[in-house]
Amino acid sequence: MPAKITEAFVAALPKTDLHVHLDGSLRIKTLIELAREYNVKMPSYTEEGLRELVFKDRYANLAEYLHGFAYTVKVLQTEVALERTSYELAVDNYEEGVRYLEVRFAPQLHIHDHMNAIMVMKAVNRGLQRAQNEYNSRPAVREGREPAYGYGIIVCAMRMFRANFSEYFATLIQGHQFTPDKELYAAASLELARAAVIARDEYGLPIVGFDLAGEEAGYPAGDHAAAYHHVHQNFMKKTVHAGEAYGPESIFQAITSLHADRIGHGTYLLEPDAITDPDISDPERYVRSLGQYIADRRITLEVCLTSNLQTNPKMKTLADHTLSRLREHRLSTTICTDNRTISNTTVTKELMLAVEHLKLDHGDLKSILVYGFKRSFMPGTYLEKRRYVRQIIDFYESVEARFFGADQQGQS
């Protein structure tokens, strides 16, 4: 009889989170403390109050989901706040068994007269590095009995922005003689792409990837091709939020115009009914070809179950999620949190939801977790990454043996 996958087992396994936003993952206690310190007005100054009014288990729509970022971004306008929250996010992850973390954020949401993009990235890195140093100084890690803890930073550009997003965007719009349009959005992304490469190459920061986030409908990824061309020419890996709230054609643009190595969400990849482009005459054939292309190239989908359920009105329960179909087509998938606070979740919780609602078995679980490490943008050489993945697999199997005995390892 197959051994039951338990929460304790999943928590003990080595995991990744390749899609987690810093500004969506603050500890609520820290958010309250920073709000008081920086005089940011909040609807409540208790965790219970904020859980009831802002950070819920379910949201009425995407606008309500995004409302929480209005508070979190406001308290992240100093280097001290960015460093503290980055450190706490890293700690929260390694305490639940995450051994490699890719934190993403949009530096341009934090730029103002006293802090530029490089300063923002340096502050985040200091917090992450402090947590890494603390964890890797543990005897079990130093002696090779447990895998080391690692991280990378993914820099996010915005598909579109408004003046109220940040001081940087307000200044950019004010200095533009026309209504904000795709040329302005593209210029901001290119500026950020250049800063990301400089941060990596001149300052030695572990900027491992470039991302594009924000509203998909009406703001096509192709508008940001110049920024992605720049990072592509400079050997930086690329991910794109696509197929989250728009159809397969958004994913196609991400992998063709932007050279995406991974896709953030990709929920609608195999859904012909989600296609809105009138030039696509055969939607069924289109999604088959697109799915085959992505499968062949092992372009990994960063799946965020709770976040998708909370922001997609068509998805009534997790049983409606497309992960099962994506797995049936043997697509490379990894399960991520998206926003730990906004979605009130953890990596362990997301994996258990997949086990309980989408019938993830032992083989699926191991494949998803190992692919998280394999398809990460981990800094370092290819050979170093291969050795680390081997160590992860060995540690994974030792956890299986501890929980289920050597004779039941990996049974499903």
CA distance 175 to 165: 16
Give the N- to C-terminal CA distance of the chain in Å, as an integer: 8
Question: What pLDDT was estimated at residue 412?
Answer: 43
pLDDT by residue, tens only, the chain of 412 residues: 578 999 999 999 999 999 999 999 999 999 999 999 999 999 999 999 999 999 988 888 777 888 899 999 999 999 999 999 999 999 999 999 999 999 999 999 999 999 999 999 999 999 999 999 999 999 999 999 999 999 999 999 999 999 999 999 999 998 776 666 889 999 999 999 999 999 999 999 999 999 999 988 889 999 999 999 999 999 999 999 998 878 899 999 999 999 999 999 999 999 999 999 899 999 999 999 999 999 999 999 999 999 999 988 778 899 889 999 999 999 999 999 999 999 999 999 999 999 999 989 999 999 999 999 999 999 999 999 999 999 999 999 999 999 998 655 555 4
With 0.85 as the threshold, say if the pTM is over it. Answer: yes
β partners of residue 335: 303
DSSP helix/strand/coil, 201: helix
User: What is the bridge-based pairing of β-strands 262-265 and 98-105?
Assistant: unpaired
Instruction: For residue range 141-177, list pLDDT tens digits in order.
Output: 999 999 999 999 999 999 999 999 999 999 999 877 6
C-alpha 379: how far from chain center? 17
Characterize 196-226 residue by residue with b for buried, 16 or more Cβ atoms within 10 angstroms of its Cβ, and e for exposed: bbbbbeeeebbbbbbbbbebbeebbbebbbe
- Count the Cβ atoms, other than its own, within 10 Å of residue 293: 14
Instruction: For Cα atoms 307, 357, 90, give the angle at the middle one, nearest 5 degrees.
Output: 45
Tell me 308's DSSP state: H
Longest CA pairwise span in the chain (Å): 70
CA distance linking residue 222 with residue 235, whole number of Å: 19
Q: Is the dihedral of CA 267, 193, 237, 370 positive or negative?
A: negative
Other beta carbons within 10 angstroms of residue 7's beta carbon come to: 13
Contact criterion met (CB below 8 Å) for 157 and 188 = yes
pLDDT at residue number 261: 97
Q: Is 212 helix (H, G, I), strand (E, B) or coil?
A: strand
Domain boundaries, the chain: 28-403
CATH class of 28-403: alpha beta
CB 248 within 8 A of CB 331: no
Contact 13, 97 (CB under 8 A): yes
Backbone angles phi, psi at 37, to 5 degrees: -65, -40
Q: Find out whether 322 and 248 touch, Cβ atoms under 8 Å.
A: no
Q: Which of 324, 346, 322 shows the shortest CA–CA distance to 92?
A: 346
In single-letter form, the type of residue at position 329 comes to H
Q: What is the pLDDT of residue 407?
A: 56
Distance CA 379, CA 70 (A): 32
Phi, psi of 105, rounded to the nearest 5 degrees: -165, 165
pLDDT in the model for residue 177: 66
Residue (of 372, 355, 358, 407) closest to 10 by Cα position:
355
According to the model, what pLDDT value does residue 247 have?
Answer: 86
